[in-house]
């Protein structure tokens, strides 16, 4: 009896140990699955896939109090696995493969959207819906008559699977996350790393949208510069077969001239009309207290620009970032300038669809190394009498204030040495004079607010406004620009 009791006791102990072992294995598997979900959520968060992240968080019921440790992510795990696999088997592991029955996307109609919602609500237990023969026939007809839908990497997709004879058809509804950010995923970049991605995210914030509302027609009196920018940005994209051999688009253009002549306006027109990814390079984005970070930012900027080509890199006030007086520069400024020169030289050598546009008010502060990188150096000079007349006409007609041609001639004659910005200021001042008169009448209770009517400026208001404005450029400074243009500019 004692032996039987000891046997039963041992059996019970083994059973309890086995049960504890199974529970432990089950718990470890559950924790492993949760860890994978948190790794995926962290990966989605790093790549700005917020719509997909929200869907995963709600469906998997992930806690917001838990986050992935700093020393681990999916990219690191994949790299370590590839290294381990190569060391063990002396070959690179295959992560993806081509499926036997390819998945195709069909456009989703309103009826299909309602049907999808009904299927998802009533049949959540099944991930596959088997349609009737009529439905399959209709889907095949849609497949033959409607084009395929391309879904980019920055979208969240809702899919419904339909199968027939081993072929899978997917109807998809996609939601774009951000229209200003290019749809191409940075994960496809061959030099991708976590540190590179952090810098690239900062650079992506400097992309200017193409909805600023500036067109080539707004660049009044700047036809020469407009034609040159079209040769560099617009025509190579429209007529690529014409640009071969020595006929290649300009990769670097420098606009220089007095302040307020329209250099920044031209860059805005390029951002709107160029149909390229437009990067606005500012000093605040690239100045960093850590040694080597500014140079690294420049390199990543050009990497991202090549990745999202065709691209335009705009450098406003180039003399502030790359001054030619190297003897008085700090060591960090020299390293930054050296990296900028290296990247610009790489752009000029390689066959990349990356265009560099720069502006400066002090071209004489740039050394020969910087100037060599810009193939075309265009002087955006003060407008002449004819151009000033057209600028006055542009601003007043745009605001529905009509004057005669003789009035515009008189305006242009008394606005000598005025830049385009000075003319705009004079037009605003003339309109403000009428506004001040109305405000004074309201304050003195000469007219009621309900009878308020703002009239356009008269010729007397415009003359007084022009006489009150002092241009920022005089003939002496303009002569300095013309002298530099004769030595280094493009005629």
pLDDT band with cut points at 50, 70 and 90 for residue 324:
low
219 Cβ contact partners less than 8 Å away, ≥ 6 residues apart: 225, 226, 262, 265, 266, 269
* Residue 160 DSSP symbol: E
pLDDT band with cut points at 50, 70 and 90 for residue 289:
low
Can you state the angle between helices 293-307 and 331-349, rounded to 10 degrees?
Answer: 20
Q: Quick one: pLDDT at residue 169? A: 45
Distance, in Å, from the CA atom of 53 to the CA atom of 154, rounded to the nearest integer, reads: 12
Q: What is the DSSP string of 229-294?
A: HIIIIIHHHH-GGG--TT----SEEEEE-STTSSHHHHHHHHHHHS-SEEEEE-HHHH--SSTTHH
> How far is the CA of 396 from the CAs of 134, 221, 404, 427, in angstroms?
64, 16, 11, 8
Q: Quick one: pLDDT at residue 62? A: 84
| More confident call, 445 vs 327 | 445
Q: What percent of the chain has pLDDT over 70?
A: 73
Using CA of residue 335, residue 340, residue 346, residue 348, what is the dihedral sign?
Answer: negative
Q: Quick one: pLDDT at residue 401? A: 78
pLDDT of 402 above 70: yes
**Would you say 251 and 347 are in contact if contact means Cβ atoms under 8 Å apart?**
yes
Q: Quick one: pLDDT at residue 76? A: 82
Q: What is the pLDDT of residues 416-446, one digit of tens each?
A: 889 999 999 999 999 898 888 888 888 887 7
Q: Quick one: pLDDT at residue 174? A: 38
Domain ranges of the chain: 2-89, 104-176, 186-379, 385-472
- What does the pLDDT average to over 214-227? 90
Using CA of residue 170, residue 174, residue 179, residue 185, what is the dihedral sign?
Answer: negative
pLDDT band with cut points at 50, 70 and 90 for residue 314:
very high
Q: What is the pLDDT of residues 244-284, one digit of tens each?
A: 877 888 888 999 999 989 999 999 999 998 888 999 887 77
Q: Quick one: pLDDT at residue 141? A: 47
Cα 461 → chain centroid: 43
**Would you say 229 and 376 are in contact if contact means Cβ atoms under 8 Å apart?**
no
pLDDT of 79 above 90: no
CATH of region 186-379: 3.40.50.300
Tokens, residue 453: 């009517």
pLDDT band with cut points at 50, 70 and 90 for residue 211:
confident
pLDDT of 196 above 90: no
User: Which residue matches tokens 């601003």?
Assistant: 395
Bridge partners for 167 per DSSP? 164
What is the value of pTM for the model shown? Answer: 0.61
pLDDT of 336 above 70: yes
| More confident call, 141 vs 125 | 141
The architecture of the domain spanning 385-472 is Orthogonal Bundle (1.10)
* Residue 354 DSSP symbol: E
Q: Quick one: pLDDT at residue 167? A: 46
pLDDT of 150 above 80: no
Q: Quick one: pLDDT at residue 179? A: 44
pLDDT band with cut points at 50, 70 and 90 for residue 144:
very low
pLDDT of 23 above 70: yes
At residue 129, what are phi and psi to the nearest 5 degrees? Answer: -110, 125
- What does the pLDDT average to over 147-168? 42
Q: Quick one: pLDDT at residue 151? A: 38
Average pLDDT taken over every residue of the chain: 76
Q: Let me know if 166 is exposed, middle or buried by CB neighbors in 10 A (0-12, 13-18, 19+).
A: exposed
- What does the pLDDT average to over 129-150? 42
Q: What percent of the chain has pLDDT over 90?
A: 14
């Amino acid at each position: 009896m004692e032996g039987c009791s000891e046997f039963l006791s041992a059996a019970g102990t083994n059973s309890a140990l086995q049960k504890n072992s199974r529970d432990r294995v089950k718990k470890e598997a559950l924790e492993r699955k949760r860890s994978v979900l948190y790794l995926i959520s962290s990966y989605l968060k790093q790549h700005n896939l917020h719509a997909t992240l929200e869907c995963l968080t709600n469906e998997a019921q992930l806690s917001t109090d838990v986050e992935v440790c700093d020393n681990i992510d999916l990219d690191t795990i994949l790299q370590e696995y590839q290294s381990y696999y190569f060391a063990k088997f002396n070959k690179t592991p295959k992560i993806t493969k081509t499926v036997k029955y390819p998945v195709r996307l069909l456009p989703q109609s309103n009826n299909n959207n309602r049907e999808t919602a009904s299927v998802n609500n009533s049949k959540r237990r099944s991930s596959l819906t088997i349609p009737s023969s009529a439905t399959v026939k209709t889907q095949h007809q849609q497949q033959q008559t409607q084009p395929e839908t391309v879904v980019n990497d920055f979208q969240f997709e809702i899919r419904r699977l339909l199968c027939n004879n081993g072929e899978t058809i997917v109807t998809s509804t996609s939601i774009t996350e951000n229209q200003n950010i290019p749809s191409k995923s940075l994960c496809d970049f061959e030099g991708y790393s976590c540190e590179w991605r952090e810098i690239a995210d900062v650079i992506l914030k400097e992309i200017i949208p193409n909805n600023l509302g500036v067109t080539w027609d707004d660049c009044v009196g700047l036809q020469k510069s407009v034609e040159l920018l079209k040769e560099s940005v617009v025509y190579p994209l429209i007529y690529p077969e014409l640009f071969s051999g020595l006929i290649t688009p300009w990769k670097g253009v420098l606009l220089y001239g007095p302040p307020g002549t329209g250099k920044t306006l031209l860059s805005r027109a390029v951002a709107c009309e160029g149909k390229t990814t437009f990067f606005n390079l500012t000093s605040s984005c690239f100045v960093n207290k850590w040694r080597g970070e500014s140079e690294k930012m420049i390199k990543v900027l050009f990497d991202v620009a090549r990745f999202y080509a065709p691209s335009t890199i705009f450098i406003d006030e180039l003399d502030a970032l790359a001054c030619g007086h190297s003897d008085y520069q700090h060591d960090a400024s020299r390293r930054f300038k050296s990296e900028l020169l290296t990247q610009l030289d790489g752009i000029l050598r390689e066959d990349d669809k990356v265009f560099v546009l720069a502006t400066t008010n002090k071209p004489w502060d740039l050394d020969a190394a910087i100037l060599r990188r810009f193939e075309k150096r265009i002087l955006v000079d003060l407008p002449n009498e004819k151009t000033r007349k057209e600028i006055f006409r542009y601003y007043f007609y745009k605001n529905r204030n009509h004057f005669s041609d003789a009035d515009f001639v008189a305006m242009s004659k008394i606005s000598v040495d005025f830049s385009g910005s000075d003319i705009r200021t004079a037009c605003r001042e003339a309109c403000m004079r009428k506004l001040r008169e109305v405000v004074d009448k309201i304050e003195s209770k000469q007219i009621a607010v309900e009878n308020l009517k703002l009239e356009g400026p008269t010729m007397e208001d415009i003359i007084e406004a022009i006489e009150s404005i002092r241009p920022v450029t005089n003939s002496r400074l303009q002569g300095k620009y013309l002298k530099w243009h004769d030595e280094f500019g493009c005629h």
